[in-house]
Amino acid sequence: MSCTPTSWSRASCPPMKSLVSTAPCMGRPLVAFNPVQRSLATRCCCRDSDNIDARVQSGDTASSSGRSSHDAKTGVCNRRSMQLAIVAAAAVSVAPCPPATALTLQDVTPQVVPAGALSAREEAIIDIFERNTNSVANVFDITLQGGARRSGTVDTPEGNGTGFVWDSEGHVITNFHVLASALRQLRPAQLQGEGSPRVAKLTLFNKQGYQQSYDAALVGADRSKDIVVLRLLNLQEALQPMQLGESGKVRIGQQVLAIGNPFGFDHTLTTGVVSGIGREIQSQAGAVIGGGIQTDAAINPGNSGGPLLDSQGRVIGVNTAIFTNTGTSAGVGFAIPIDIVRSIVPQLIQYGKVVRPALNIQLSTDQVARALRVSSGALVQSVGPNSAAVKAGLLPTRRGLTGIITGDVITGINDRKVTKGADLALALDSFQVGDRVTLKVRRGEEGAQGTQDLTLSLTLEEGSSS
């Protein structure tokens, strides 16, 4: 028999002694049971108290139960009876466990949550990548193809970089330093495209979505600006050129994307923002490239020569360098402004070289200038024979009877101030061959008596592209 909340009656409670003798949890405190169990135990206890009351009336003192006749007569359950009743309720309320059943594969397979809709920003980034990735090439220097250097757990191909399609005729742009090994083996005339020397192998996605390899010949190179133009030799279909933007309108904080082949992982997309503008980038030739774009988009070895895109998918720069102590991205990358590249590439395609305005002089390094006590300006080290600079009266650094005589120091060109040699190089990029310019010159030892401030006018001549 058992006491249940729905079928309880005085006759339904089993004898207390039988419950106690079979109860497995003797002595459990009242709080260990749920409210239904406590209620049931109380009812059974009170039923037992009524039996005790009947026995008292018949002369049984119930001394063995430890209860007083007052307790029995008033029907109050004592502590012992309450505990025994609770144990009994717990014993009868425990249901037998169902037999174990085997788990199926469906039981242990987690439910798949359907993918949600992409955000508008994600959709825009994906669209830019898909529109431009087929125009980005993986570039290999043929003299180093197959070589690799170990970097952590990744083999980094030497002479490996990125390029992008310039026009539908098969011209591709990349960095000079990506192909430095092959280009060093060429004669000066070959560097201008003579004989169309084969210097690289490229891979591009075709219209069917498969990678296709091409041999590439050199069209022209500008070492000072770290730019090379290649032409695909076995082109079988028209290529899709990338759209060009304006680097002069780039603003700090705007979003940018870089597509390239870092560590040989082709067609890798990274994103970031423009971190700075107007940076001076030191080229592989030691020349200074002005107006550089700084970005925190990850740029690593293999990204060189690849496009830096704005949020509309237009090329605003050519990734070229990183500032790092480890050789990998530290969040400081640099790109050559596309405005400079746009002025160089047409000349390389037409002439194989850049017709660049120059003074045809050689400047001293900053270290030499400081040793000669020149703290500001561009110190003239030598002047080309029969050059416009000679005709204008510009004096070089020379040796005299009393030692080295400091040459003229250029402190300005037109309305631009020149504080070091790099300033003069950047200023010349804004002129054309044949332009008439005015130089501000300091002659004589800086701070000494007899120093002269002069103004010299001359016509800019054609300079070298390397």
User: What are the residue numbers of the active site?
Assistant: 177, 226, 304
Token pair belonging to 86: 């609770």
CA distance linking residue 63 with residue 442, whole number of Å = 127
Q: Which residues lie below 8 Å from residue 409, measured CB to CB, with a gap of 6+? A: 374, 376, 377, 378, 379, 380, 441, 442, 443, 446
244: which DSSP letter? B
Spatial distance between the Cα atoms of 398 and 372, rounded to a whole number of angstroms: 12
Q: Which uninterrupted H or E stretch holds 174?
A: strand 171-174
Rounded alpha-carbon distances, angstroms, from residue 117 to 110, 114, 121, 125, 250: 22, 10, 12, 14, 31
Q: Which residues of 146-158 are buried (b: 16+ CB within 10 A; e: fewer)?
A: eeeeeeeeeebbb
Rounded CA separation 204/210 (Å): 8
For residue 321, give every residue at least 6 positions away whose Cβ sits within 8 Å of its Cβ, in sequence order, or none.
281, 282, 304, 333, 334
| Tokens encoding 410 | 């250029």
Residue from 440, 430, 433, 428 nearest 459 by CA: 433
* Residues whose CB is less than 8 angstroms from the CB of residue 300 and which lie 6 or more positions away in sequence, other chains included: 262, 263, 322, 328, 329
Gap between the Cα atoms of 273 and 311, Å rounded: 10
- What CA–CA distance (Å, rounded) separates 466 from 464? 6
Give whole-number Cα distances, 137 to 108, 204, 231, 264, 291, in Å.
Answer: 46, 5, 12, 12, 25
Q: Which DSSP category does 261 fall into?
A: -
Distance of CA 376 to the CA centre of its chain: 39
Q: Where are the alpha helices (DSSP H) in 294-442?
A: 338-351, 366-371, 388-392, 421-428
Token couple for 245: 């933007």
